[in-house]
Amino acid sequence: MDKATEKRFNLAFNIFLVTGMIVAVTITTVFKLQQPGVKTFILLLAAFGSVMGVVNTVLSANGHILTFVFGFLDVLAATVVYLDNGIMGNFALHAFYFLPMQFVGFWQWSKRGAKVKSGEEDSHLKARRLTGRQWAWLVAGIVAGVAATYLILYLVDSAQLGAGKIDSINKPKILLDATVMTLNIAGQVLLSFAFMEQWYIWILVNISSISLWTVALVGGTGSGNAAVMLIKYIFYLLNSLNGLRIWLKLCKEPNRPLALEADLDN
């Protein structure tokens, strides 16, 4: 598609994501608030974080540095939600990794040309691609990370349940949790250093997270916000597919401003 058509499509798609998320979160939150035993503060915090997260990912897909401002708000809310749900691996990941990485990402994107107000041609984010060797290190790191994280989470669950209940450990859930954590770490590194391949990672993260929150929703282990988190990651997946499309073009045309960036600055 030509630039004008792409710009209109991108604008409409992003409006759909943000508006759709706000509507979905509002309906889900109102419904959940009517149920007994719901933790109102946690539910409202999850709803707020979900909206901030969609805005964050939309800005990220379009290469806008304000993604890290909204990302900070999203991660801060998610940290509390994961703690309340007892998903301690993701709690630690958000509190001790994602929160500080928002500042790292803002600094790195600033060094690569991204600015809050992009009024000049050279003020746009300059994306890059992984080399073959970097791909090899990435894959090896992910495999090693999943294995190490799985072992740690397994040992933690074993210690909590006791020697007599080891057989009751949910190994598939631990593997899924370990995979999500490791992919999140890898994706954040690629995002902070403006590598296009981050979108392959985020697609896997979102599919895994959808599975994780579906299990929580069906099993009733959440505190009333599992549905909100599930909807959030569905919208994330849609945005990741669009982000991959945009960044593939950006890498082919390194001096071309990202579609919609002018709109986001107005």
What confidence score (pLDDT) does residue 232 get? 78
Closest by CA to 45, choosing from 73, 21, 65, is 73
Q: Does residue 61 surpass a pLDDT of 50?
A: yes
pLDDT higher than 60, residue 94? yes
- The answer to whether position 152 is within a domain reads no
The two most distant CA atoms of the chain are separated, in Å, by: 65
* 261 pLDDT higher than 60: no
Q: What is the pLDDT of residue 161?
A: 67
- pLDDT at res. 259: 40
For residue 20, pLDDT over 60 is answered with: yes
How many domains would you assign to the chain?
1
In a domain, 48, yes or no: yes
Global pTM reads 0.79
d(CA 56, CA 72): 9
Q: Which residue has the tokens 């509390």?
A: 80
Task: Give the domain extent around 12.
Answer: 3-129+196-265
pLDDT tens profile 220-257: 665 556 777 788 788 889 999 999 988 887 777 544 44
- Whether 201 is covered by a domain: the verdict is yes
Predicted confidence (pLDDT) per residue in 183-223, tens digit: 989 999 999 999 999 999 999 989 988 887 887 788 766 55
Which token pair is 24? 């979905």
Query: What's the N-to-C CA distance of the chain in angstroms?
Result: 24
